[in-house]
Structure 1
């Protein structure tokens, strides 16, 4: 294809996308670009009814109860979230594929089934789990619908079959209605591609929504979806969750089936991408995880782990039954010291947990920079060639920057590779083996390091979970998310990690710059000089709760404890840092 051809393909795809939006849902009163925080706009725009607002503001567990009891129909709930999703899209450009008519037909079938049989369809259709609309990251295949991955070359090539997770969700009674935006290649902690453009942060549209599940993060934050499904290889669920102030779970390799999704760097199986939920409540995280593993995905996906939901693990039997936990705070990773708002979130979390009767100690980071270097070498081994192969049929350039100037297609290079992941030229197979061996060895060191904390916790057990930053900063301006170290570390270790919003956001008075510390390295100095609270105005403050490999049930339970402690603490004692 010529460059003209690929641009024409983009223009046609955007025209087709626009045609899928109901005309009476297109708003004429959108806020001007000068209005940065648009979180409250959906409820003020006039499109949503009082019932729509009530439905979309209801947490997942209550939604499920009302759906199961027939108080709200599936058509009503699907319509409400569809309308709010379309509003969100007009505000922050978060959607790729929109198939609302198909979703409403599916919702009507579910309503009719409940009416005629008195029974729900599967655990996602009512009961005490969930039955509700679910949005999907663009890479998750739905038969008959494009999964472009932000590649012009993949436009107009609808999936021949569903991803396994889609089959499971539909068996459970879920309603699928939209897919969401991603960066080209997926391997970016921000969201921009030539096909659909850039997704912004609804709390401050000059800031990034994160990536690569940035469309999901923004959509869920605007309550255009009760649960969105993203993927995470270096933080791609957790970074958008953190930057948009919502909950997001990175489970261990194979806990949620990945079969049938499209991806970058397929065949790279040293650090695996995983699927996980983004939602406005931990109830949504639990409901999704419990329902999916109940379908025994290991019988259909050879890489899925054979591990049913464990109530004993959820009850924290291996963690003193949850009565007195010991958390360890990672204040910094030994590479980059976090900005003041991030540290304030950690401090408030510590105070909340102490007030709730738990113990909190400091976590000493171990060789985090070595983990980061290993991840970069593994991903970069053949990344440049992978991207060239994907883009060659269309002739589109590989996105080399997430800065706003990237939207000016006339100045983009044609043969670049994203600068986020060195080395662009890769390494030999033997060199790759040595990196993977090093990764294995330092994983063993980290496990031993964790186990050794039993000597200092006072509980007789090692640390139950780590409280970690999600990044060295809250959501930064577009093009400025230069590192994903605070999330990538847990991918390389294959630890379970759950993002929890603290309920705080950047405060121009409280979060003033701190005096310079002894810089760890030039990058740390650059990060310190980058901070200005005005730049990050209104950005949410979040933390991660990190557990060991395959501890999804325990981390969800401990996440509930942390979440409840934060809510109580901030109600009784608002932050005064």
Structure 2
């Protein structure tokens, strides 16, 4: 027999994904001119009133409590999210793998355990959790959007999958990613393009774009993503969900499939995405409670630090001082992003905190350093993954000529080990310079300590049309610095408030492009989030301060 072509392999994979969808969960496809898809899960008739109540419960802590008290069974909760995930997939093409039979078997086991023992099996008991298509599960494929990886079935679970299982989570879907992962949009030759649920002409972000779209539509309340340059934070900001990039090696990455696998100078961070901040906290606490360093040799031995979460070194959370980065000196954010920063500043000041302006330091150098490190293989990693003959995607623009290779996608000459060492030395100096600037703010905060956290855009724009994202200048620096970053939804685009200012001078070519692409009417209603940044390995501090920021925003809006 001849070996199937990559196109035939893709066709077979898509067929198997479609056949895994129960026929009774199929909906009438919305017309192409139905751009806004957020309302369809409520109106399509597939979900019962009980299932709508379950899946509309955004607060993960509330859902876990109802599961623990048997108010809702694991089977009915899992069924509800399986159904809603399939509805979401039909609306925005966000899934790469579904495995509902094993999920429902696990749910039944957990219900039986609760009856027999009168207690939950772990902190995530009965909670359906989605996974980005990077986390192998024994017996399933993890293609990560590569045709050549179709048919490769995992022989063991990734470390995070093992820990989620120990915590009582129910795994039921994996979500779509861009080919190579190194995009702020989501499209590949295997599963196609994931769209934004608020407007399908816009991108949901990347590389965790399937995850963000699914969570926005409440096909999941909590999922696991990964981030090497913005891959959790950009899609979270675009789709209006919470997303958290911890410092690298705080959560386990052992066993995942990945691009640039083996590159550990600026590595991938594993982190949660959720419809609620409680979901982010629950995920972090649950995984850390299982001592992940016993399954991943790279994971640091750092259990959940309750003193740090109580902000004991940050005035116990009273009268905090925030730095605000209004722009990075490279691209000035569009009006909705600026307004979000202003709203957060006003809310924090009304809550009794203070804010100071943050002057960007070497952000262009931080980005250049990271990109040089990631591209140091001269494209060998991508070539190895394309052995099936599948072409490398060089543009996310649906109308792009596949033979046209933009300058930024042309492979660089590979670097020697010594050249990579020099980049590592440069990164070390950049980290020291940023640390010194952070510490120097002690002289101006009025609290006797440096700023407690930094607030900045996650991108210079809300979600953009497919193929229009620019370089991730607002997220990459925090990977280079290894700082944890939490994306918090703040507002939505309001054309009457977010009018386009007149500008004739620009900081860069990218700055001018960002200015010219803004159209307040076209992006009306799109979500806007911001990043909350802390220093390296201060995950608990960032999450606790995140609660303060969200509460300040909530108090201001009431």
Q: TM-score, normalised by structure 2?
A: 0.97
Q: What is the correspondence of 1:372-411 to structure 2 with a 5 Å cutoff?
A: 372-382=367-377, 384-392=379-387, 394-405=388-399
The alpha carbon displacement at 1:422 in A equals 6.4
2 CA distance for matches of 1:529 and 1:540?
20
1:313 equivalent among 308, 315, 319: 308
Equivalent in the alignment of 2:284: 289
1:569 is paired with a residue of what secondary structure?
helix
Equivalent in the alignment of 1:97: 97
Deviations 1:114-173 (A, max 9, x none): 112212112211xxxxx4000000011111111101100000111111000000000111
Deviations 1:490-516 (A, max 9, x none): 0110001000001x2111222111121
Asked if 1:427 is matched to 2:415, the reply is: yes
CA contact (8 A) 1:121 1:173 kept: yes
Q: What is the correspondence of 1:24-173 to structure 2 with a 5 Å cutoff?
A: 24-28=24-28, 30-58=29-57, 59-125=59-125, 131-173=126-168
Q: Structure 1 pair 240/496, CA: closer, same or farther in 2 (3 Å)?
A: same
Asked if 1:527 is matched to 2:527, the reply is: no
2:247 equivalent among 243, 252, 256: 252
2 CA distance for matches of 1:318 and 1:37?
45
Deviations 1:386-437 (A, max 9, x none): 1111102x1000111111136xxxx533xx8786566533333322222221
1 CA distance for matches of 2:429 and 2:410?
22
Larger mean CA deviation between 380-389 and 339-348 belongs to 380-389
CA contact (8 A) 2:394 2:409 kept: no
2 CA distance for matches of 1:517 and 1:135?
45
1:184 equivalent among 179, 186, 198: 179
Equivalent in the alignment of 2:452: 464
CA contact (8 A) 2:185 2:209 kept: yes
Equivalent in the alignment of 1:450: 438
2 CA distance for matches of 1:138 and 1:343?
33
Equivalent in the alignment of 1:128: none
Deviations 1:505-532 (A, max 9, x none): 1112221111216411222122212211
1:486 is paired with a residue of what secondary structure?
coil
The total of aligned residue pairs comes to 557
2 CA distance for matches of 1:250 and 1:473?
20
Equivalent in the alignment of 1:493: 481
1:565 equivalent among 549, 552, 557: 552
Q: TM-score, normalised by structure 1?
A: 0.94
Structure 1: runs of 5+ lacking an equivalent: 126-130, 572-577
Deviations 1:358-389 (A, max 9, x none): 00111111000001111111111115111111
2 CA distance for matches of 1:254 and 1:557?
20
Q: Structure 1 pair 460/518, CA: closer, same or farther in 2 (3 Å)?
A: farther
Q: Structure 1 pair 498/517, CA: closer, same or farther in 2 (3 Å)?
A: farther
Structure 2: runs of 5+ lacking an equivalent: none
Q: What is the correspondence of 1:237-276 to structure 2 with a 5 Å cutoff?
A: 237-276=232-271
Equivalent in the alignment of 1:574: none
Aligned-residue CA RMSD in angstroms?
1.6
1:177 is paired with a residue of what secondary structure?
strand
CA contact (8 A) 1:3 1:396 kept: no
Q: Structure 1 pair 271/91, CA: closer, same or farther in 2 (3 Å)?
A: same
1 CA distance for matches of 2:18 and 2:487?
33
Deviations 1:535-577 (A, max 9, x none): 3232101111100101111100000000111122123xxxxxx
CA contact (8 A) 1:330 1:365 kept: yes
CA contact (8 A) 2:470 2:510 kept: no
2 CA distance for matches of 1:419 and 1:281?
39
CA contact (8 A) 1:136 1:216 kept: yes
1:353 is paired with a residue of what secondary structure?
helix
Asked if 1:5 is matched to 2:5, the reply is: yes
Asked if 1:543 is matched to 2:530, the reply is: yes
Asked if 1:337 is matched to 2:353, the reply is: no
